Amino acid sequence: MQDKASMAGLGLNPVEIGAENYRGVLTDSYAQFLSGIYAQKKPRHYRAIGTSQFGTEIVDESVQRRRKDDPSYKPQNPGLPKLT
């Protein structure tokens, strides 16, 4: 993404991403929003994957790696490719 931004003429300071970056700490921002009150009133919405209008949507390889390496990571999005 940094390369694409740079090629588009955007100025940025490149950041090196480590090979284990996908193992970073997860944050449940939905549960934390408005100190948890929103989550008590509104059900979660899991956006469907692979349904974009132009068909250019992909799931990054790091998602699949995390799913394989972290048994507690279980995204519930419809259309998420099965693990291989």
**What pLDDT, in 10s, does the model give residues 40-52?**
999 999 999 988 8
Q: Is residue 69 part of a domain?
A: yes
- What pLDDT score does 21 carry? 92
Q: Is residue 76 part of a domain?
A: yes
pLDDT surpassing 90 at residue 53: no
Q: pLDDT tens for residues 1-49?
A: 888 998 999 998 988 889 999 999 999 999 999 999 999 999 999 999 9
Q: Is residue 24 part of a domain?
A: no
Catalogue the long-range contacts made by 68-71 (C-beta closer than 8 Å, 24 or more residues apart).
Answer: 69/23, 70/23
Going by C-alpha positions, the residue among 15, 20, 75 that lies closest to residue 46 is 75
Domain carrying residue 55: 44-84
Q: Where are the beta strands (DSSP E) in the chain?
A: none
Q: Is the pTM of this model over 0.85?
A: no
Structural domains of the chain, count: 1
- What pLDDT score does 17 carry? 86
Work out the burial of residue 9: count CB atoms within 10 Å of its CB; fewer than 13 is exposed, 13-18 middle, 19 or more buried: exposed
**Contact between 75 and 67 (Cβ < 8 Å):** yes
